[in-house]
Amino acid sequence: MLEEITRSVVEELQKQHLLIQDSPLKRDVPVSVSGRHIHLQKEHVQALFGYGYKLTKLKEISQPGQFACNEKVTIQGPEGTIENVRVLGPERTRTQVEISRSDGRRIGISPPVRNSGNILGSSPVTIIGPKGTIRLQEGCIIADRHIHMTPQDALDFGVMDKQKVSVLVDGEKGGVMGQVTIRVKENYALDMHIDTDDANAFGIRENQQLKLLIE
């Protein structure tokens, strides 16, 4: 309900804002490349690292309140394993593994492309920690391309929550990247997130500026 209210308010403010806006809409968006990683719920932290264990912070990442942890795990599928998968904090209500399509082929699974948190019916995967192993029946996804924005950013760019846009990538392997989801929330920081497959395909550098296009 809160998301719907926020969306309605942003849409109404956006209509009013665009009517009186004199300056051109913003278009440049910084991009971050997300490597494979995992979000863990409390019970799974303890199952993997030991009873009473608390995740330890390595460094802050682009979104406020989110951080990379010192802890790493191994993920396993029917055809292989990938070691040293970084845990991100803080703890979540449900465990979620995010990998690329290339990672999926490597371990023999085919995760769906989803928004973060939408894991219903996603791929099964095994997670191996120093103190235990967890076998998830669902929980592994390929994260969709998305841009985090505050409500003010959404106004400045002339977009709204959940809207699909494209971005233009400059460079030797540049082109237009489509199906990018806008995500709007008050505590977000402006940043586009893509996985390593997308970054490699378009030759994208960390913190490169991409140009937003409206579909």
pLDDT score at 3: 61
Q: How many domains does the chain have?
A: 2
Are 104 and 39 within one domain?
Answer: yes
State percent of the chain over pLDDT 90: 86
Under 8 Å between Cβ of 197 and 100: yes
pLDDT score at 20: 47
Are 78 and 169 within one domain?
Answer: no
Q: Which of 34, 38, 37, 39 lies closest to 91, judged by CA? A: 39
Are 49 and 125 within one domain?
Answer: yes
C-alpha angle 201-170-160 in degrees, rounded to nearest 5: 90
pLDDT score at 19: 47
| Residue 175 lies in domain | 2-32+145-214
141 phi and psi angles, rounded to 5 deg:
-135, 165
pLDDT score at 24: 81
Are 17 and 43 within one domain?
Answer: no
Are 156 and 176 within one domain?
Answer: yes
Residue 13 clears pLDDT 70, i.e. is over it = no
pLDDT one-digit tens code per residue, 56-70: 999 999 999 999 999
**What confidence category does residue 90 fall into, taking pLDDT thresholds of 50, 70 and 90?**
very high
Residue 194: give its domain's CATH number. Answer: 2.40.40.20
pLDDT score at 104: 98
Are 78 and 56 within one domain?
Answer: yes
Of 96, 127, 143, which one is at a domain's C-terminal end? Answer: 143
Are 100 and 16 within one domain?
Answer: no
pLDDT score at 54: 97
Are 71 and 167 within one domain?
Answer: no
Strand partners, 67: 60, 89
pLDDT score at 93: 97
pLDDT one-digit tens code per residue, 129-187: 999 999 999 999 999 999 999 999 999 999 999 999 999 999 999 999 999 999 999 99
Are 28 and 67 within one domain?
Answer: no
Are 76 and 176 within one domain?
Answer: no
